[in-house]
Amino acid sequence: MCGIVGYIGNKPVTPLLIKGLKRLEYRGYDSAGVALYQNGEIKIFKKKGKVSDLEKYIQNKELTATVGIGHTRWATHGEPNDINAHPHLSMSGKFAIIHNGIIENYNELKKRLLSRGYIFQSQTDTEVLAHLIDEVYKVGKVAPEEAVRLALTKVEGAFGIVVMCLDKPDQLIVARRASPIVIGIGEGEYFIASDATPIIENTKRVIYLNDNEIAIVKKDELVLKTIYNNNIIPPDVKILEIELDAIEKGGYEHFMLKEIFEQPRSINDCIRGRISQDGSQVRLGGLQDVMERILKANRLQIVACGTSWHAGLVGEYILEEICRIPVEVDYASEFRYRNPVISTNDIVIAISQSGETADTLAAVQLAKQQGALVLGICNVVGASIPRETHAGMYTHCGPEIGVASTKAFTGQVTALLLMAIMIGYEKKSISREQSYNLISQLLEIPELVSKTLNNVKDSIIIIAENFKHASNFLYLGRGYNFPVALEGALKLKEISYIHAEGYPAAEMKHGPIALIDENMPVVVIATKDKSYEKIVSNIQEVKARKGKVIAIINEGDRTIPKMVDYTLEIPLTDEKLMPILSVIPLQLLAYHIAVMRGCNVDQPRNLAKSVTVE
Ligand code: G6P
């Protein structure tokens, strides 16, 4: 949700900002802008559209600045246009600001500022912040960094900001509450960004700002303080472990395709180092210390959004089956506002690829306040949720850039399986032998994912060609494959803009069956598990109404191919692991249909990868 970058040092800043914004474009791509300090002035350039539009707009200008800030926007307040694009300038022209987040009391602040003569150019909440800083600076006669700090004490809501002041152009003021900020430490230079991706090619040493911290950054000095108490605190310098090629396309046409094909490796990375030498136990360092409490849990409560919520649903089936503990799965946005019953004997598991989703983060905070033990399953190392939770595990999938989540989903399901096997073994709800068998099958999964990709990659193109003009799609699955049906439908909606619904196959007769006719493609996940016979009947129900069926089946199935229009074969594995394989053809189907429809696969309209607003 909006990407922000900043740089202060000796290098020409404009190319650095543009490159950084391109890396962050997955966070929002409604408009982009930069503010540069040059020849005693703050110059602002901003444009509706993508970072490349901004790049074209400034390409022939002589820009020599070595201090600057940049922003790529996902609109919240005010439509995407040039005026609402960031940076915003305060009325005096002294402060330029970029902001990721939402100022919740902006209306109240705006009224006050209007009554004091401030004139607003844009419809954004950010401009309120720019004028507020201006006012505190003017009235309080304090240093610019102090004006920013004091202004932030009056602000409610979420912000990651970088501010530049004309009166002190040798510094950038950076602050955070609930929206992520990373500062990279170079030699005589600092890099600021919403996440580490624009930083890694410049330096590996970083500081993650915590909530309510403010940093005053000069090219050779950084002072970190708390916003409320104004206490200086020592920065905690971390070393980044991601490599540059992990955030580039590596020869693929789109990040999404690269990430789909990366899954054998990303799943392997999730499992690696977490299995005992004899192959009978899972060892998750992050859970060892809290295992006693987990074993006493009355209930597991999973909270997540989007694709992560679908992984949570698979997790419900897995954890109940293996650990025999009741599991509930909630959308984080519902959980946080519905006054849920949480006790100290509950374990809350927050699942989030980015580790920054505002609703999931708020759900974590709520569960903590109410005394639950909160675990995180996240991908981005050092993000807010893993820092806020008591314990947890990383999925170690590597950076996911495509807005439609793919490898994060299979990583999350793998992580949930590992967690379930570890808990089940400790709780003795599964035997050593069962644990060993599950682990052996899990270790084969990366290879089976490769096989799945090879099996289906060509035939899917033919299917996509046949259905690329469809206006609706229905996805059906049962048991472990029901959440996969939801995920398949979500993928198609997100990137091809075709309306699609996922349904538990047996529920079809309570409504969606009315939609079925010869124009309705129905994707049925019909793998060999305990619901196989039942799903065969569901297929017959669809065929009786002339629906077009695309079935995901296991290799060697001789029954279903005779009944349906298309089949896609995946290898056989334990049903608990099947979602990791059955989701693969659905990811590829959505991808190819979207490409054939000329959609922007990596940056679908209106969406953003990391939703840091509620
Ligand atoms: C956005 C993304 C989805 C993602 C969801 C939750 O909607 O576009 O791909 O599943 O947020 O994000 P999280 O980072 O918490 O998993």
CA distance 522 to 506: 14
pLDDT in the model for residue 559: 95
pLDDT in the model for residue 19: 96
Single-letter residue type at 453: L
pLDDT single digits (tens) 379-433? 988 889 999 999 999 999 988 999 999 999 999 999 999 999 999 999 999 999 9
Q: Given 2, 165, 305, 397, which residue is catalytic? A: 2
Best of 302, 357, 380, 410 for a ligand 1 pocket test (most atoms within 8 Å of beta carbon)? 357
Q: Which of 4-8, 401-405, 426-430, 589-593 has the lowest mean pLDDT?
A: 401-405
Atom 7 of ligand 1 has which residue's CA nearest to it?
306
For residue 79, pLDDT beyond 90: no
For the question of residue 305 being annotated catalytic, the response is: no
| Residues within 6 Å of ligand 1 by CB | 305-308, 352-354, 357, 360, 403, 405, 607, 609-611
pLDDT single digits (tens) 180-224? 899 999 999 999 999 899 999 999 999 999 999 999 999 999 999
Q: How far apart are the CA of 253 and the centre of ligand 1, in A?
A: 22
Atom of ligand 1 nearest to the CA of 409: 10
For the question of residue 258 being annotated catalytic, the response is: no
Q: Determine if the peptide bond prior to 87 is cis (ω within 30°).
A: yes
CA distance 417 to 409: 12
For residue 466, pLDDT beyond 90: yes
Q: How far apart are the CA of 408 and the centre of ligand 1, in A?
A: 9
Q: Which residue has the higher pLDDT, 118 or 245?
A: 118
Atom 15 of ligand 1 has which residue's CA nearest to it?
352
Backbone region of residue 572 per phi and psi (left: phi > 0; alpha: psi in -120 to 50; beta: other values): beta
Q: How far apart are the CA of 546 and the centre of ligand 1, in A?
A: 35
Rounded to an integer, the average pLDDT of 307-315 is 98
Length of the chain: 614
Is the four-CA dihedral 553, 558, 564, 568 of positive or negative sign? positive
Atom 8 of ligand 1 has which residue's CA nearest to it?
609
Q: How far apart are the CA of 147 and the centre of ligand 1, in A?
A: 35
CA atoms within a 13 Å half-sphere pointing along the CA-CB vector of 499: 4
Atom of ligand 1 nearest to the CA of 354: 14
Q: How far apart are the CA of 269 and the centre of ligand 1, in A?
A: 21
Average pLDDT of the chain is 95
pLDDT in the model for residue 164: 98
pLDDT single digits (tens) 110-122? 999 999 999 999 9
For residue 608, pLDDT beyond 80: no
Best of 26, 353, 600, 614 for a ligand 1 pocket test (most atoms within 8 Å of beta carbon)? 353
Q: How far apart are the CA of 499 and the centre of ligand 1, in A?
A: 19
pLDDT in the model for residue 29: 82
Atom 9 of ligand 1 has which residue's CA nearest to it?
405
pLDDT in the model for residue 251: 80
H helical segments located in 190-279: 255-261, 263-271
Rounded to an integer, the average pLDDT of 147-160 is 95
Rounded to an integer, the average pLDDT of 94-102 is 94
Instruction: Give yes or no for a contact between 552 and 587, defined as CB atoms under 8 angstroms apart.
Output: no
Q: How far apart are the CA of 468 and the centre of ligand 1, in A?
A: 25
For residue 91, pLDDT beyond 90: yes
Q: Given 22, 94, 491, 609, which residue is catalytic? A: 609
Residue 65 token pair? 């600045």
Buried b / exposed e across 124-142, counting CB within 10 Å, b at 16+?
Answer: bbbbbbbbbbbbbbeeeee
Tell me whether strands 205-208 and 182-185 are parallel, antiparallel or unpaired. Answer: antiparallel
Atom 5 of ligand 1 has which residue's CA nearest to it?
306
CA distance 380 to 377: 10
Report how far Cα 419 is from the mean position of its chain's Cα atoms: 21
Best of 405, 490, 591 for a ligand 1 pocket test (most atoms within 8 Å of beta carbon)? 405
Atom 4 of ligand 1 has which residue's CA nearest to it?
306
Q: How far apart are the CA of 339 and the centre of ligand 1, in A?
A: 23
pTM here is 0.81
pLDDT in the model for residue 1: 66
pLDDT single digits (tens) 563-585? 999 999 999 999 999 999 999 99
Atom 1 of ligand 1 has which residue's CA nearest to it?
609
Q: How far apart are the CA of 304 and the centre of ligand 1, in A?
A: 9
Atom of ligand 1 nearest to the CA of 408: 16
Q: How far apart are the CA of 610 and the centre of ligand 1, in A?
A: 6
Best of 27, 609, 612 for a ligand 1 pocket test (most atoms within 8 Å of beta carbon)? 609
Best of 354, 361, 605 for a ligand 1 pocket test (most atoms within 8 Å of beta carbon)? 354
pLDDT in the model for residue 480: 97
Buried b / exposed e across 364-375, counting CB within 10 Å, b at 16+?
Answer: bbbbbeeebbbb
What percent of the chain is predicted at pLDDT more than 90?
88
Q: Which residue has the tokens 């919520």?
A: 309
Atom of ligand 1 nearest to the CA of 360: 15
Single-letter residue type at 441: Q
Atom of ligand 1 nearest to the CA of 385: 15
Rounded to an integer, the average pLDDT of 238-243 is 86
